[in-house]
Amino acid sequence: MEKTVLPQVDFQYLVEFLPDFYVILLPNSYEIVAASNGYLAATTTKRESILGFTLFDVLPESLKMRTSDLKDSFDIVMKTKAADTMAVRKYDKEKGAFIQGYWKALNTPILNENGEIAFIMHSIEDVR
């Protein structure tokens, strides 16, 4: 059986169409390099307003006070090269009126061919 030659994949385009809430970050700086359409809709942000900024810079105000928990999770991922699930967090979302909800975040390392962390995938799940 002959192996099919696969096309070059534009990962940013691929991430845009993932069905849930994802951002792809650079390790150490945590700059956003890609975001899913679902993440943008859930956070009421535009792609051009978050790409190139750190996740900490673009967090909704209701979540900014919890950045130490997020940083701790990233530290675990960087040290262990394994995924880390964060505790469920309450947030307030403004959409005409305040809506209270709960998010659970998962931070997953994406390793390169040398086993080093190339990216961190930050995903959130609405668990209200």
pLDDT, tens digit, for every residue of 31-51?
999 999 999 988 888 999 999
Give a yes or no: residue 6 inside a domain. no
Range of the domain at 31: 23-126
Whole-number pLDDT of residue 96: 45
Single pTM value for the model: 0.84
Q: Is residue 58 part of a domain?
A: yes
Greater confidence (79 vs 93) lies with: 79
| pLDDT tens for each residue of 94-106 | 554 445 678 889 9
Query: What's the structural domain count of the chain?
Result: 1
CATH number at residue 89: 3.30.450.20
Contacts of 114-119 with C-beta under 8 Å, sequence gap 24+, read 115/81, 117/27, 117/77, 117/78, 117/81, 118/27, 119/24, 119/25, 119/26, 119/27, 119/33
